[in-house]
């Protein structure tokens, strides 16, 4: 799989390798420019949208799936850039799943915008979970994977 980053124009992103619990490679992509969302206490709900897939021997998606995932990523990014009721903060790819992480101010509006963003795509096998994370603990943990060059 070739990791594409077309969505980088919509924010300040980084990508770094990490290991899954099973020892497989996970490519972690995180967004740096989130302070205006993080400083707003209304953005306290973390939503994780997971796409399980059949991967290659290393747990990465096959090329057709990878391309469809990038299309979905770009569609989600465009939708939430246009109407910032949520911010995509992280993307994890590997070990048989793509996971997008968002912080939002409303689950109802988020769900509606998610459906609108993906309306032109084929039905995707998505699993969605949400929980309160007013401290942005998942974001802080993900940020530890960033490789900082001095």
Beta bridge partners of 103: 46, 87
Q: How far is CA 44 from CA 47, 65, 103, 134, in A?
A: 10, 31, 6, 4
Within 13 Å of residue 96, how many CA atoms lie on the same side as its CB? 6
pLDDT at res. 68: 97
Residue-level pLDDT at 2:
34
User: Residue 128 forms beta bridges with which residues?
Assistant: 49
95 CB-near residues (< 8 Å, 6+ apart): 20, 22, 24, 25, 26, 55, 59
pLDDT of 10: 59
pLDDT tens, per residue, the chain with 150 residues: 333 333 334 579 999 999 988 888 999 999 999 999 999 999 999 999 999 999 999 999 999 999 999 999 999 999 999 999 999 999 999 999 999 999 999 999 999 999 999 999 999 999 999 999 999 999 999 998 888 776
Please provide the size of the chain in residues.
150
CATH topology of domain 6-143: Alpha-Beta Plaits (3.30.70)
Instruction: Give the domain ranges of the chain.
Output: 6-143
């Amino acid at each position: 799989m070739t990791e594409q980053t077309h969505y980088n124009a919509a924010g300040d992103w980084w990508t770094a390798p990490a290991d899954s619990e099973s020892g497989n490679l996970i490519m972690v992509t995180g967004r740096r420019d989130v302070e205006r969302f993080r400083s707003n206490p209304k953005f306290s709900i973390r939503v994780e949208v997971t796409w399980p897939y059949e991967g290659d021997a290393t747990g990465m998606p096959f090329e057709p799936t990878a391309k469809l995932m990038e299309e979905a990523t770009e569609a989600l990014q465009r939708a939430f850039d246009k109407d910032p009721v949520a911010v995509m903060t992280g993307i994890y790819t590997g070990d048989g799943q793509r996971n997008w992480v968002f912080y939002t101010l409303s689950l109802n509006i988020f769900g509606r915008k998610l459906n609108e963003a993906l309306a032109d795509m084929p039905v995707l096998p998505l699993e969605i979970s949400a929980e309160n994370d007013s401290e942005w603990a998942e974001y802080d943990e993900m940020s530890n994977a960033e490789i900082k060059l001095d």
